[in-house]
Amino acid sequence: MDLLSLEHFSGCLNETFSADLQGMQAAFVLVEAQPLPVRSPDALRAPFSLVFHNASALLFPQQTYRMHHPRLGSTDIFLVPVAQDRTGFLYQAVFN
């Protein structure tokens, strides 16, 4: 598999990724995909950030989740809860 990049995700804004959570599935909608400042010119990829929204009232812990998307397939993504709104929680993934 190719090293994941911002380009892999930028066409998936407002689309749903599903995550395996101990035998059940949770829906995470990609709401933001942004580049981050480049700190090392010899890095393997340009750094970027993804923000997902989950509408569950349950806060999922910071950890790696197996995420599935119809076009991208399956990949492990480390999600960190970063905010709560009236409809659920926001989770960020940072790729360096």
Q: 3-state class of 9 per DSSP?
A: helix
This prediction has a pTM of 0.92
Q: Is the pLDDT of residue 80 over 60?
A: yes
Q: Which token pair is 50?
A: 């993804």
Sketch the domain layout of the chain as residue ranges: 6-95
Residues 19-27: what's their mean pLDDT? Answer: 89
Return the ∠ at Cα 47 (arms to 50 and 51), rounded to 5°. Answer: 10
Q: 3-state class of 5 per DSSP?
A: coil
Within a 13 Å sphere around the CA of 70, how many CA atoms are in the beta-carbon half? 6
What local confidence, expressed as pLDDT, does residue 11 receive?
93
What local confidence, expressed as pLDDT, does residue 9 receive?
96
Q: Is the pLDDT of residue 1 over 60?
A: no
Residues 43-62: what's their mean pLDDT? Answer: 93
